[in-house]
């Protein structure tokens, strides 16, 4: 990434920060750019967006603030119909991507293979393989 940025005229100095200090507000405040990822602990869209794109949360590390996004997130939480709720969160995400408070580099995907002698292969609601119940069967 450093070489890619240099190719477009952006010189980077990498300052390595210990893991226990990486997400501290004082560490984030010292930099112009940082690398981060997010894994939500539920499958709900709000759990991905609210912590990262609401300035009331300490985890909104970029300081992103868009009043329309905040209003839509508040409304989305009240929607019971799952299809309508998903559509609202799609709209919220479109606005955030258009605003580009981040450079979205990639989104990992999970996959698995199966075999007739394997049983219990399942993915969690977060797309993670659950190994607890996998068994070899004859």
In tens, the pLDDT along 15-31 reads 888 888 887 878 888 88
* Residue the block writes with tokens 């590390």: 61
Same domain, 101 and 114: no
Residues 10 and 67 in one domain: no
| Contact by Cβ (8 Å): 119, 135 | yes
Look at the chain and count its residues: 138
Q: Indicate whether 102 and 53 sit together in one domain.
A: yes
Range of the domain at 10: 1-35
Mean pLDDT on 35-41: 74
Is 138 or 54 the better-scoring residue by pLDDT?
A: 54
Shared domain check, 26 and 5: yes
**Tell me, what's the pLDDT at 125?**
66
- Domain count across the chain: 3
**Per-residue pLDDT tens over the stretch 56-88:** 998 888 889 999 999 999 999 999 999 999 999
103 and 46, same structural domain?
yes
User: Are residues 90 and 120 located together in one domain of the fold?
Assistant: no
| CA–CA distance, 39 with 104 (Å, rounded to integer) | 14
């Amino acid at each position: 990434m450093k070489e890619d940025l240099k190719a477009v005229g952006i010189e980077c100095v990498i300052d390595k920060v210990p893991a226990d200090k990486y997400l501290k507000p004082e560490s984030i405040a010292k930099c112009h750019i940082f690398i981060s990822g997010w894994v939500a602990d539920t499958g709900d869209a709000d759990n991905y967006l609210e912590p990262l794109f609401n300035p009331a949360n300490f985890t909104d590390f970029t300081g992103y603030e868009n009043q329309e996004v905040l209003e839509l997130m508040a409304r989305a939480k009240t929607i019971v119909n799952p299809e309508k709720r998903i559509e609202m969160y799609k709209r919220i995400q479109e606005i955030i991507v258009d605003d580009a408070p981040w450079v979205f580099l990639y989104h990992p995907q999970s996959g698995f293979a199966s075999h007739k002698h394997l049983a219990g292969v399942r993915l969690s609601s977060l797309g993670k393989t659950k190994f607890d119940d996998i068994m070899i069967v004859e």
